[in-house]
Amino acid sequence: MTETQLREQICLLAKSMFDRGLTGGSTGNISARTADGGLLVSPTGTSFGRLDPGRLSRFDATGNLIDGDKPTKEMPLHSAFYDTRSTAGAVVHLHSCHSVAWSMMPDVDEDNFLPPLTPYAIMKLGKVKLLPFFLPGDPAMGEAVRGLAGKRSAVMLANHGPVVAGKDVEAACNAIEELEDTARLAMMMRGIPARALTNDQVQNLVTTFNVEWDD
């Protein structure tokens, strides 16, 4: 994929998520590795619904901003995933409603944020770590991700939103949508004795699909 194609793909997928209400206003940010080891990043204060391919922030392989507008203030968060996960080709952060709502529930498992309601979140995300609340843009968010030592492809920032790293932009977007869908199911089923997947079924998924599933 050329850089021009990657720029267009970032903006196309971001607009798709915006149009379907997965993030609103000027919330959320997205980044992707370029062929030369640099990064394309959504600029600060921009809307997923109106990203301009020609104005994306462009970093070189050494982390210097070389073109485009000022990047998102969440760069430490993105950099933490790229620095700790060699397979990360893209990072997406949303303010999706149901995942944020689920992060506020008092009985949520901090080490395994999503309940095992369907196979797909397990397959696409592995275990999602719930991180505490940080002020937006706080570099401590990046340090918290670094503290996971690359063992998680997805985290949930409490009262804020999910962040997912994937092998490429499409994979990261698909995974973060699965996270939101599962959180929505969890909210719908809250207080109902729903039949979740059993531990044996979860382990079968982990083994069959080679899921990262640290204990």
pLDDT digits (tens, 9 = 90+) for 164-206: 999 999 999 999 999 999 999 999 999 999 999 999 999 999 9
Catalytic residue among 3, 120, 170, 212: 120
Taking the C-alpha atoms of residue 120 and residue 115, their distance in angstroms, rounded to an integer, is 12
- pLDDT one-digit tens code per residue, 116-152: 999 999 999 999 999 999 999 999 999 999 999 999 9
The reply to whether the predicted model has a pTM over 0.85 is yes
Domains along the sequence of the chain with CATH: 3-208 (3.40.225.10)
What is the pLDDT confidence band of residue 214, given thresholds at 50, 70 and 90? confident
Residue 215 clears pLDDT 70, i.e. is over it: no
Catalytic residue among 74, 177, 178, 180: 74
Taking the C-alpha atoms of residue 154 and residue 96, their distance in angstroms, rounded to an integer, is 14
Give yes or no: 74 in active site.
yes
Give yes or no: 82 in active site.
no
Residue 39: per-residue pLDDT: 98
Residue 36: per-residue pLDDT: 96
Strand partners, 155: 129, 163
